[in-house]
Structure 1
Amino acid sequence: MSTILNKSSLNFLLQHPWQLALAIVGIALGVAVVISIDLAMESSLTAFDQAGKAFSGTATHRIIASEGGLDEKLYTQLRVGQGIKKLSPVVSGYVQLAKQTNNSFKLIGIDPFIEKSFKPVWQQEQSKNQRAALLARLVVEPNTVLISDKTARSLHLKINDEFTIVSDSGKQDLKIIGFLQANNAISEQVLAKLIITDIATAQEVLGLFGRLSSIEVLMDNYEPETLTKILKLLPGSALFVSVDSQSQSMREMTRAFSINLKALGLLSLLVGMFLIYNTMTFLVMQRRRLIGCLRSIGITRRQIFKLIIGEAFLLAIIGTLIGIALGIALGQSLLYMVSETINAIYFRVDATSLIIRPAQIGKGVFLGIAATLVAVLPPAWEATRFPPATVLIRSGLESSTRQLVSGAKLTGFILIAGGLALALSSAQSVSWGLAGIFIIVFGFALLTPAFTLGLVQMTDKLFGRFLGIAGRLPVRTISSEISRTGIAVAALMIAVSATIGMELMIGSLRQTVTEWVQASLAADLYVTLPGEKIIGGRAIEEHQLKKRLADLPDVQMLSSALHTKLIANDEFTKVSVFELNPQSRKGFIFKDKVNDDLWDRFEQQQTVMVTEPYAYYHAIRIGQEILLQTDKGKQPFEVIAVYADYSGDQGHLSMSRQNYQRYWPDLGYSGIGVYARKHTDLKQLENQLYKLLTGQQSVKSDKDIYKASMEVFEQTFTVTETLRWLSAAVAFVGVLSTLMALQFERTRQLGILRAIGLTRRQLTFLVIGETGLMGLIAGLFAIPVGYVVAYVLIFVVYERSFGWTMAFHFDPMVVYQGLALAFIAAVLAGIFPALKMARIKPAEALRIE
């Protein structure tokens, strides 16, 4: 009997290739989006981790410093003075090829005679003699480097060739003396972006004379004496951290960003589940008579249930395998966008290709199969619930469905209330906030059939008399087939509401950022001073530049900023050091009321201001103290204000330059604001400023900085936009599947309409009108749902994710676009089944097999 059932199942599935294809596409797209996000995010972070191991090797700990780096004398004191042998000094920075400004490499300077004890990634494939020879040449021959053989091939370079790189210190010719060999795909990706040289060459190229970027330490947990010696000599600008903890803290920085991306992927999977449910329901309903006959001749409910689950399992495997392949391809496209976002907001990553791990593929397989099986449970249960006589009657399904609609409505209200309560009362948890959104959206999805019924019934009562028979048919068909149409409208509503909610959130943030950037840009022109901030000659030159700028006749006054890192509460924290004037002070948007003596205290007392994200993540309030590490020990700085800042989600501190110079060395400036006198020709003044600048120093107007800032903002949400449209694509497939299924199921009904005189053109417009009305209903219901989603995103999820608060900005165009998206998607999805059904001959449609 099982063999007969399996054959009948296979034959039936093969007779409905379109429905099978759409179901598989729905599964595949949902799985693909989830996997692609996971692969792109994990590949970016793995590339960052492996880049550190490329030069740290087996190091267990690391001595790192804030801007300006470590004095190389510290290494001498530790190794010679204290006798600590397992140390490796490192100098690192980024350079670009002279003729390819968009192709950057990480230049790493090492001590060749010490580095061998650590054996980093780039040494693992070299023999002992080969490694010794190459390392010796790095020291003996000036400006010599090692690069990846893959990189050399791509640049058409070979051993003993020279190439030119550009750094903050200018151009430099480097000579290739050997290649770095990779032993696997991960190390190949890392090595492709590395240039290895000795410390002296790296210091010269990067302008870090007498400075180190870090000191790698090889030490186990049972060396307390070594730890004591190291901590005793550490300056106030340095930290001793474990390599693993540093890597973990960097990953933790991107946690909220990662969660938000994965939530969008799961949204696509949720929409895909509606599609799977709809398709499997259709496949079950088409066989209602067959199932009824099988039940009548002795087939058990259990056998029917297993049959349907087996069909879904087969579709899940096929769809998941296709989804994995699509996910890998899509992940490569998303990798660039994810990496660029991490670069813009968090830290530098050099991911060039996907790193695929079995665990990530396994996760995709599990989600695809689990989502399919969960979605198929209701139709499988439906197929076995009724006795054979009832199964053979179509009206029984719709009658029972209308009873379920009433129960689903009550459940929907309960889920919406529960989701809101969960989102609003879950402290600072981003995951629970997103879970609240999913529950809310699912609750509204359960309300959709009831909303659809109510709206079409109201439409029929109000406009039925004016529409005529042909006009009333689409309205009544949606109502009579609510078991099918309700799910289709719900799937489309979810995708459109997510689109509206995300667009309202992004629009609100865009407007908030626009107002913030415009308020912050108080100066007329800005001189940018890029590059590593180091102690010594460069800082003196920047002070001299500032004096020359102030002496220009058209310059009324200046302001300055230095962006650096200091140790606050035992962790590196970004700090902005300001020299402000009365005009530049207007650029701060305070989140709380401040005292009139704020600026006097900022300049004269040991105080700091903190950005809103920093205050949120560290639970800082005005009046509290933050301990900053100095060479004189930890010094308390009182928080006197919290102000808005949307440049990043980790937050930072701000202090006056006068306060900074009491405890920390002079590192020059990151930028200088130029305020022109009245009636000054800014273009002419800009040309005067350029004549005073050198190297990569540049002048930008407030308009240029505003444009660049908004480009960074748009880049940040490029991934979000892409995933949002992918979710909409999944919903479109779902609507197309439902409409095709619905029209094919109504073949006999449409054949009767053709037989009594309805033309092909009228039938086409009838079907398209029906689908368009479904899209309109989905769009109308998506508007309030989208507003609820936007509210939770703005005031719960994004505040917890990034520490930002923003005002809700209403944009009516978002509503119109969402409504149009739902309507157009439904109409387009209805064109194919409409044309197909219009070509059916009445005799064939009315034939009973």
Structure 2
Amino acid sequence: MLGSRLRRAGYRHQRRHVWQSILSVLGIALGVAVVMAVGLANQSTSRAFQITMEQISGRVTHQLIAGSSGLPEQLFTDLRLQLPDLPSAPVVEGVVRIGDEQLTLLGLDPLSERPFRNLMPTGTTGVLKQLLTGDDGVLISAYSARRLGVAEGERITLNIGGTSQQAQILALFGQPEEAALDGVLVTDIAVAQTLLQRFGSLDRIDLALDNTQAARLRAWLPPGVRLVETKRRTAAMADMSQAFQTNLTAMSLLALLVGGFLIYNTATFSVLQRRRQFGIMRLLGATRGEVFRAILAEQMLIGLLGTLVGMGAGILLARELLWLVTRTINDLYFALTVSQLDLSPQILLTGTLLGLVTTFIAACVPAWEATRSNPQSVNRRSVIERRSHRALPWLLLTGVAGMIGGVLLVQASERSLLMGFAALFCFIMGYCLLVPTLVPPLARLLQYPLKWLFGTIGRLASRGIDATLSRTGPAIAALTLAIAATIGMGIMVESFRDTVGQWLAQTVQGDIYVTAPHSASKRASAPLPEGLLEQVRALPGVADLSSGRHVTLEGEKGPVSLLAIGLSSGSYRGFHFKGETLPDLWERFSSGNLVLISEPYAYHNRLRVGDSLALLSPDGLVDFTVGGIFFDYGSDRGLVIMPREHYARLWHDDQITTLGIYLQPDQPTEHLLTRIKQLAGQFERPLQVRANREILAQSLEIFDRTFTITRVLRLLVIAVAFVGILSAMMALQLERAREHAILRATGLTPGQLLGQVILQTLLMGLMAALLAMPLGWLMAEILIHVINLRAFGWSMPSQLSPTILVEAVGFALIAALLAGLYPSLRMARTRPALALREE
């Protein structure tokens, strides 16, 4: 009976304070929505990559691969003649564009494809004949055709390596609703070789082998060719973006953590507002368990509503985040087309459970606190506040223990990214528990300046915060967490941006650079035309040249990004090494005895100066010694550098990818830039000719684009926090109606009350901002020196920008002001007699 009365009383309370319930639902909904959106976007990209690889790989178990120049066609012929019982199929793969859309062109042999894939047309001999005999026929999935607005029989323009090529869509494959091979064009292998200008070479040979056949094939293989397992290679590619996706997930959980503080605040204020009601119910015979269950049921209902709203909002938000995640993966890792959101039941269930579990944990503490109250003393404010102050030492010990636990996790976890995030959350939770213990001394410290500035009103504002610690403590802690999150992420992004800017300024030493705009090959950047280097060298005003060839080779642990460079006299200044290097570094490097590796490559492969590194050349594996480890922020996959002459001799490839031009002193850049553009315009393939400053600006633009999603998540965390603080502070001020009425009755004017309430909320915002600065700096240090290093292999100095701190203080004060404005106006207009009247 009493249990049902408690539930009815709780329903009436929520109905009378509907705005508080709405804000609570909105807060947890935003937290769940951010987690759901990031999870669905990550799941969609991972699933699209997995399905595409499965469709392309089919029943392939192994692949034959080689270096940047690929496999000679003769190898496939020899394989078929000498080992005819081994199922094999040649593949040529490249990158093409239709408008702004990037697609993968897959060249296959229709006569060898049957044991592996079902991408070739069946039952339509006319299409198969056209594919084999034509010189520009392609197949495209029905889903891609519908999305791109093209149809069967239509002629399309492909941008391949900066040049336009015509092709005809012979047929569509798959169903219009199947997005498995979205972004893939299929054609005959000879057509692909013609379009990609890859005559006589293959990218790989696909095979379906058992262990015995694989061992027999390895014994037959010539030097320079490697047999790899398809699953291992696909997993290595998928792992490239895993750290990036893990970072997004962790930041989304931060939004949910702020939402959890909101639920805690809501439940706490709900209990405080009804402490007299609970006391009466306890005196009438209600048990502790009934009170606990009633409070928990109310908050779980709020959590359920917030979770359901958050699920819907998360799906909508995921559609917007999907293209940001896909664009970043395309910029940093590999070509991927994702146009369909994968509504994974697992992600939906995870988001639901996270919302409900967060609500349960956050609501348990105030519900348990309500059951501990003595029925005779629940209406005594002093009893609650004394209990809150007595809990401060325990909060201090627990908070310190949490932060020490974070330090121990960092030390013990070594390279684990997940443990690094666990340590970060230990620091956050530990510090948030310390905040209530720091509020009283901070309030007493600010009491005298405020009294000097505002008189009695200032003293009342500061003392009121300490006197109502059970209510002000959680509100300040929640706002502290939100502001600290914005400070931490802001310092991390700004430090990274400044470091990248300095690195670019140091690395890009040339005055003018010439490159090809796009590459049709996934193994090498587009080469420059032959003879260009000599023509540029002959131009008056050119002092020196540097050249480079960017390719992807095979190492013992998978693909290796390599830059073969011909250094100019000024290029040496572009290297900034981490730690010591081997003696006579540049002399031994020029002779080809040493290679240089980037910091990310050294970190991920656990290499040090003096270690050996094996790379696959046409003549087999070649061992190199690591001469030095240089800082590089161009890719988290890492980079290996060797002399171009040595690379050309070992890999039989003397092409160049990029050309750096150093001008003579006092030579105007614009004149020579125009002359080189005219020279580049003489070639059939378009070339990019850019000045140093243009490259720096474009590189920072790409950096900003990469961190767009980080900024979006930061704004979402702020949105969750603002809703939480608005709810907490409004409830705080309205719950103090009786206290404000007493002040009015003792002579305080409406204007003075308005000023006192606004000043107190501003003071709480200022306290939160001051307390958030150490936590924000600590979060930034962990993000920079632990998370980024473990995820991407980059190390960088942290740089504290005063602008970020000013923005944080401004946000805290504005949030506090807006949150306290409505209740202060309401209290100032309420007659004291009404506020003092017993309910």
Q: Does 1:89 align with 2:72?
A: no
What residue in structure 2 maps to residue 137 of structure 1? 130
Equivalent of 2:217 in 205, 225, 229: 229
Q: Does 1:367 align with 2:361?
A: no
Q: CA deviation at 1:458?
A: 2.0
- Cα distance in 2 for residues equivalent to 1:182 and 1:840: 67
- Cα distance in 1 for residues equivalent to 2:597 and 2:807: 39
- SS of 1:388's equivalent in the other structure is coil
CA contact (8 A) 2:753 2:824 kept: yes
Between 601-610 and 388-397, report the one with greater CA deviation: 388-397
Amino acid at match of 2:202: L
- SS of 1:782's equivalent in the other structure is helix
Equivalent of 1:353 in 325, 340, 353: 340
Amino acid at match of 1:129: G
What residue in structure 1 maps to residue 109 of structure 2? 111
- Cα distance in 1 for residues equivalent to 2:493 and 2:367: 40
Please give the residue correspondences for 1:712-791 in structure 2 after superposition, counting only pairs within 5 Å.
Answer: 712-756=702-746, 758-791=748-781
- Cα distance in 1 for residues equivalent to 2:610 and 2:207: 39
Instruction: Note closer, same or farther for the CA distance 1:181–1:286 as it changes in structure 2 (3 Å cut).
Output: same
CA contact (8 A) 1:606 1:636 kept: no
- SS of 1:356's equivalent in the other structure is coil
CA contact (8 A) 1:208 1:534 kept: no
Q: CA deviation at 1:660?
A: 1.3
- SS of 1:389's equivalent in the other structure is coil
1:667-700 deviation digits (Å, cap 9, x = unpaired): 5111011112233232221222223323232111
CA contact (8 A) 1:169 1:207 kept: no
- Cα distance in 1 for residues equivalent to 2:532 and 2:520: 17
1:442-498 deviation digits (Å, cap 9, x = unpaired): 111111112111111222245435533333222222112111111111111111112
- Cα distance in 1 for residues equivalent to 2:523 and 2:430: 60
Please give the residue correspondences for 1:611-626 in structure 2 after superposition, counting only pairs within 5 Å.
Answer: 611-626=598-613
| Identical amino acids, percent of aligned pairs | 37
Amino acid at match of 1:371: T
- Cα distance in 2 for residues equivalent to 1:761 and 1:667: 82
Q: CA deviation at 1:345?
A: 2.1
CA contact (8 A) 1:148 1:191 kept: yes
Q: Does 1:572 align with 2:562?
A: no
- Cα distance in 1 for residues equivalent to 2:411 and 2:479: 27
- Cα distance in 2 for residues equivalent to 1:211 and 1:762: 85
What residue in structure 2 maps to residue 78 of structure 1? 79
CA RMSD of aligned residues (A): 2.3
Q: Does 1:531 align with 2:519?
A: yes
Equivalent of 1:423 in 404, 410, 432: 410
- SS of 2:761's equivalent in the other structure is helix
Amino acid at match of 1:139: L
Q: CA deviation at 1:597?
A: 2.2
1:35-54 deviation digits (Å, cap 9, x = unpaired): 11111122222222222233
CA contact (8 A) 1:35 1:360 kept: yes
CA contact (8 A) 2:223 2:619 kept: no
What residue in structure 2 maps to residue 834 of structure 1? 824
What residue in structure 2 maps to residue 339 of structure 1? 326
Q: CA deviation at 1:595?
A: 5.6
Amino acid at match of 1:379: P
- SS of 1:708's equivalent in the other structure is helix
Please report the TM-score for the alignment, with normalisation by the length of structure 2: 0.95
Q: CA deviation at 1:68?
A: 2.4
- Cα distance in 1 for residues equivalent to 2:105 and 2:700: 30
- SS of 2:276's equivalent in the other structure is helix
Instruction: Note closer, same or farther for the CA distance 1:735–1:234 as it changes in structure 2 (3 Å cut).
Output: farther
Please give the residue correspondences for 1:117-266 in structure 2 after superposition, counting only pairs within 5 Å.
Answer: 117-120=115-118, 128-130=122-124, 132-168=125-161, 170-182=163-175, 187-188=178-179, 190-219=180-209, 222-229=210-217, 232-233=220-221, 235-236=223-224, 238-266=225-253
- Cα distance in 2 for residues equivalent to 1:256 and 1:153: 33
- SS of 2:105's equivalent in the other structure is strand
- Cα distance in 1 for residues equivalent to 2:614 and 2:170: 48
Please give the residue correspondences for 1:440-839 in structure 2 after superposition, counting only pairs within 5 Å.
Answer: 440-464=427-451, 466-529=453-516, 530-532=518-520, 542-594=529-581, 597-666=584-653, 668-693=655-680, 694=683, 695-756=685-746, 758-839=748-829
Amino acid at match of 1:734: G
- Cα distance in 2 for residues equivalent to 1:295 and 1:624: 73
Q: CA deviation at 1:216?
A: 2.3
1:499-549 deviation digits (Å, cap 9, x = unpaired): 11222222222222111111111111111134246999x96x734221222
- Cα distance in 1 for residues equivalent to 2:582 and 2:231: 44
Instruction: Note closer, same or farther for the CA distance 1:434–1:721 as it changes in structure 2 (3 Å cut).
Output: same
Between 817-826 and 835-844, report the one with greater CA deviation: 835-844
Equivalent residue pairs, number: 833
- SS of 2:413's equivalent in the other structure is coil
Instruction: Note closer, same or farther for the CA distance 1:55–1:425 as it changes in structure 2 (3 Å cut).
Output: closer
- Cα distance in 2 for residues equivalent to 1:363 and 1:512: 37
CA contact (8 A) 2:68 2:552 kept: yes
- Cα distance in 2 for residues equivalent to 1:501 and 1:534: 37
CA contact (8 A) 1:423 1:792 kept: no
Q: CA deviation at 1:289?
A: 1.2
Instruction: Note closer, same or farther for the CA distance 1:760–1:199 as it changes in structure 2 (3 Å cut).
Output: farther
- Cα distance in 1 for residues equivalent to 2:222 and 2:468: 75
- SS of 1:669's equivalent in the other structure is coil
- Cα distance in 2 for residues equivalent to 1:751 and 1:231: 92
What residue in structure 2 maps to residue 51 of structure 1? 52
Instruction: Note closer, same or farther for the CA distance 1:834–1:212 as it changes in structure 2 (3 Å cut).
Output: farther
1:163-192 deviation digits (Å, cap 9, x = unpaired): 2121116212222222223375xx42x434
Please report the TM-score for the alignment, with normalisation by the length of structure 1: 0.94
What residue in structure 2 maps to residue 267 of structure 1? 254
1:583-621 deviation digits (Å, cap 9, x = unpaired): 111111111244662111001142111111112222212
- Cα distance in 2 for residues equivalent to 1:211 and 1:836: 79
Structure 1 spans left out of the alignment, 5+ residues: none
CA contact (8 A) 2:37 2:317 kept: yes
Q: CA deviation at 1:569?
A: 2.5
Equivalent of 1:846 in 816, 836, 839: 836
- Cα distance in 1 for residues equivalent to 2:411 and 2:710: 23
- Cα distance in 1 for residues equivalent to 2:256 and 2:557: 42
CA contact (8 A) 1:78 1:230 kept: no
Instruction: Note closer, same or farther for the CA distance 1:57–1:183 as it changes in structure 2 (3 Å cut).
Output: farther
Q: Does 1:15 align with 2:5?
A: no
Q: Does 1:376 align with 2:363?
A: yes
- SS of 2:41's equivalent in the other structure is helix
Q: CA deviation at 1:789?
A: 1.7
Instruction: Note closer, same or farther for the CA distance 1:192–1:252 as it changes in structure 2 (3 Å cut).
Output: closer
1:41-99 deviation digits (Å, cap 9, x = unpaired): 222222222222333223233333432222222222222331045222222222222xx
- SS of 1:642's equivalent in the other structure is strand
CA contact (8 A) 1:771 1:827 kept: yes
Amino acid at match of 1:526: Y
